[in-house]
Structure 1
Amino acid sequence: MTNRDYTISFTVAQSPDVVFAAIGNVRGWWSQEISGGTEHVGDVFAYRYQDLHRSRVAIMEAAPGRRIVWHVLDNYFSFTRDETEWKGTDIVFDIASKGDLTEITFTHRGLVPSYECFEACSQGWRMYVEGSLRDLIMTGQGRPNIGEAMTESERILAA
């Protein structure tokens, strides 16, 4: 059986510890509309993008330099028939040394092609993870959402 969860991987020329710290700086790469703790097991944070998307996320695992696992406790989409599509899914960041590089494998377990939000969410994760998170890791400056639409899907949905 093929794993259909959304997954992307990339490598960076930084240590696993730098990568781990950057992922925990969620406001630095995903959104500045985050409230709550984002670094330690047991932390719960809330994400919000306008009136289109809200979620509450718990940090379930945080193994320095190796792995971070988030669990989506609650979710609301204004643009899908099932407003709770992400609820109960897990967002996993696996970190591994690959010679002089560090590989980040991002998997949103439960975000599958049959979800109505799959295309918009995939586009968003690519931009925020492969783009903004990578920039934060490599330059110290990410491109988090600051309330404006950033992906094509966000622009369409916000209109």
Structure 2
Amino acid sequence: MMQATQKQDFTTTFSVDRNPREAFEAITNVRGWWSQEVEGVTDQVGGEFDHHYKDVHRCRIRVTELVPGRKVAWLVLDNFFNFIEDQAEWKGTEVVFEISEKDGGAEVRFTHVGLVPQYECYDVCTNAWNGYLGGSLRNLINTGQGQPNPKEGGNAPAHQDAATVLRARRTP
């Protein structure tokens, strides 16, 4: 059971028309909603995968928990953002998807444990998560078609533009 924290971890919840099993299968299909550049194992406990988006974001994640139709949990092992100073911000944080039945469909509660408002990346990261979750993942669950970041050379989805804007603001 996840305990409530005082540090305001980023959490968001959304509903889908499909059942919890279908939501679980879509979440573990990380290439289908987050990025086609994901390399590694995303659907086995102990599996590790690498995500990268151009020169903006790289991370290595370990799958720590899979309960079919109920829960997916990851541990961020390593992370790099090119738009922040403290590269430790995501390291050691947990990404948790909790799935429950609701009104004939499912509800997905997403919590990035350790992603807190005090972090420099918070606004960009929460904006990006909201785009991936409420847009791409939700669409993948409901329709079978997400909008992940394309392989290098393609156009980025709108929710990636925030990092570019933030970097431009910091450049003298």
Tell me the TM-score normalised to structure 2 length: 0.88
Equivalents in 2 of 1:36, 1:78: separation in Å? Answer: 23
Match of 2:145 in 1: 141
Q: After TM superposition, give the deviation of residue 156 of structure 1 in Å.
A: 2.3
Equivalents in 1 of 2:85, 2:6: separation in Å? Answer: 26
Match of 1:117 in 2: 121
* Pairing partner for 1:25 from 21, 26, 29: 29
- Summarize the alignment of residues 62-81 of structure 1 with structure 2, pairs less than 5 Å apart: 62-81=66-85
Equivalents in 1 of 2:49, 2:69: separation in Å? Answer: 21
Could you list the runs of 4 or more consecutive aligned residues of structure 1 that deviate by over 6 angstroms after TM superposition? none
Match of 1:9 in 2: 13
Checking the alignment, whether the CA contact within 8 Å between 2:11 and 2:111 is kept in structure 1 is yes
1:99 aligns with 2:95: no
Equivalents in 2 of 1:76, 1:5: separation in Å? Answer: 20
For 2:98, give the aligned amino acid: D
Cα–Cα, structure 1 residues 123 and 38, in superposed 2: closer, same or farther, change >3 Å?
Answer: same
Structure 1 unmatched runs, 5+: none
Identity %: 48
Q: After TM superposition, give the deviation of residue 95 of structure 1 in Å.
A: 0.2
Equivalents in 2 of 1:84, 1:53: separation in Å? Answer: 13
Checking the alignment, whether the CA contact within 8 Å between 1:52 and 1:158 is kept in structure 2 is no
Match of 2:134 in 1: 130
SS at match of 1:21: helix
Tell me the TM-score normalised to structure 1 length: 0.95
Equivalents in 2 of 1:2, 1:99: separation in Å? Answer: 31
**Alignment size in residue pairs:** 159
Checking the alignment, whether the CA contact within 8 Å between 1:57 and 1:73 is kept in structure 2 is yes
Checking the alignment, whether the CA contact within 8 Å between 2:83 and 2:163 is kept in structure 1 is no
Q: After TM superposition, give the deviation of residue 120 of structure 1 in Å.
A: 0.2
SS at match of 2:149: coil
For 2:156, give the aligned amino acid: A
